[in-house]
Chains A and B, each alone.
Chain A
Amino acid sequence: MSGEQPNGPAERPVSPNERSADDDALLATRAASGDAEAFGILYDRYVDVVYRYVYYRVRNEAEAEDVTSDVFFKALRAIPRYTPRQPFLAWLYRIARNSVIDRARRQRTQVPFEDALLHPHADRVVDPDAGLLALSDSTTVREAIGRLTPLQQEVIVLRYVEGLDTRAIARIIGRRDGTVRGIEFRALGALRQILPSREAL
């Protein structure tokens, strides 16, 4: 046996994202078998992303910390059940999403989405001149964003906070690329209905 597969697919370059996914899977396996430091590395890698996602869903710093903490403790307990079929971040997002929903059910109150813009550390932004930030004073926009569905909010956060592309978002939320584009399109459309300066989006 030569080890080659003449009829198989040709070997293609491995992207950094794929390497990261493989690495995540390996770390998750180690963490599941009791390697605390492996879980620590995963935590270091994703805590900021999870925190921002949670923050935009609960829109309060203390709550965001609580939920983030909850997410990682749940992940730690559930990691033996994690399977690398889905990206580790997608798995974390799912836990985060459920935690946010559970919390909302318990509290029956949600802080308006756009209050996230008032975060004490919001000066640490990417592209501070970007359109949505510039529009953050608009009550109309705030109301529009507040009316987005949770899924639309997720897509908006992943797209406009994390700067992920459609394909990455699709993997995380478990939808097809086209579906994600549709969700984003409708979310932006909903915002455009009420934006005072439509060209910002």
Chain B
Amino acid sequence: MQDPRLPRPAIRPDFRSRLRAQLTSEAVRLAEERRRRRGWPSVWSGWLRPALAVATVALVLALGTGVAAAGSLPGDAGYPLKRAVEETQLALAPTGQARVEILASHAQRRLEELAKTVQRADRAPTASAEYEAALMRFAEAVEKLRAAEPGTKRDAVTDVVDAARERHLPLLEQLKERLPTDARQGIERAIEQHEKLERGKPSSPPGKPTERPTRTGEREGPRATASPRGGRP
């Protein structure tokens, strides 16, 4: 039998050279990438892999317990986790104003926890102290920002202060009557702190008297003061 040959299709020269150029370029890129990774394998097989495994387990547990922690009260097992999450949130605040807003929400949360302790007299003093501390941090951040920021930012902070006061004071008045004596003292100090914040507001534009916010139908309290920005219904 003879040795026949099938046709030998030739590759297009431009494709040939273009592919070569692409491959050479890719080879350089891969070599660079491999050089960069060279340090990783020993670390990866050493401490990094177990460390990541532990971190992953911790994260899963944290996420699982995080849900439970969100509703926890001072003294509960999940409470420290809840506070740790809040601290992380605070640490990530991009601006002073954002920090004030976050601290306001934390203070609000402490107040809600305090309200829940009406049925748990043993937790009330701790919850009261937690709320007081949160309010103090909030007040400090507000003062700091007021001292540093001019104009519109001061107004924005004042809005946050007003909103916090409007939400907190009515509830504090109610709680004062219902909580044990040792918790009540903390509430008194908190109310004073709110007043201090109120007094520290920028001077009001003329003709805009304000009053301490009250819930509809509630009598005006003795601490009603003039507010430069006006009260909220």
Please give the residue numbers on chain A whose beta carbons come within 8 Å of chain B beta carbons, in ascending order: 31, 33-37, 39-40, 43-44, 47-48, 51-52, 55-56, 61, 64-65, 68-69, 72-73, 76-77, 80, 116-117, 119, 121-128, 130-134, 136, 156-157, 160-161, 163, 200-201
Chain A residues positioned under 8 Å from B28 (CB to CB): 36
Instruction: From B4, B15, B26, give the contact of A132 (CB < 8 A).
Output: B4
Chain A residues positioned under 8 Å from B5 (CB to CB): 125-127, 130, 132-133, 160-161, 163
Min CB gap A112→B, angstroms: 14
Q: Is the CB of A34 within 8 A of B23?
A: no
**Which residue of chain B lies nearest to A33 when distances are taken between CB atoms in the complex?**
B31
Looking at B6-14, B101-109, B201-209, the stretch in contact with chain A turns out to be B6-14
Q: Is the CB of B4 within 8 A of A39?
A: no
B63 at the interface (CB under 8 A from A): no
In the docked arrangement, what's the CA distance between A131 and B2, Å? Answer: 8
Residue among B5, B22, B30, B35 with the highest chain A CB neighbour number at 10 A: B5
Instruction: From A36, A51, A124, A160, give the contact of B4 (CB < 8 A).
Output: A160
Take A34-B31, A130-B2, A131-B2 as given contacts and tell me if A73 and B23 are in contact as well, using a CB distance cutoff of 8 Å: yes
Q: Is the CB of A69 within 8 A of B19?
A: yes
Tell me the dominant secondary structure on chain B's binding face: helix
Chain A residues positioned under 8 Å from B24 (CB to CB): 36-37, 39-40
Q: Is the CB of B30 within 8 A of A48?
A: no
Q: How many residues of B contact A (CB 8 A)?
A: 27
In the docked arrangement, what's the CA distance between A139 and B8, Å? Answer: 20
**Which residue of chain B lies nearest to A156 when distances are taken between CB atoms in the complex?**
B6
Chain A residues positioned under 8 Å from B25 (CB to CB): 36
In the docked arrangement, what's the CA distance between A43 and B11, Å? Answer: 13
Q: Is the CB of B9 within 8 A of A121?
A: yes
Chain A residues positioned under 8 Å from B4 (CB to CB): 127, 130-134, 160, 200-201
22 contacts between A and B (CB under 8 A): A34-B31, A34-B34, A36-B28, A36-B31, A37-B24, A40-B27, A47-B11, A47-B16, A56-B6, A61-B12, A65-B11, A65-B12, A69-B22, A76-B30, A119-B9, A121-B9, A125-B8, A130-B5, A130-B6, A133-B5, A133-B6, A157-B6
**Which residue of chain A lies nearest to B1 when distances are taken between CB atoms in the complex?**
A201
B20 at the interface (CB under 8 A from A): yes
Chain B residues positioned under 8 Å from A52 (CB to CB): 8-9
Q: Is the CB of B1 within 8 A of A125?
A: no
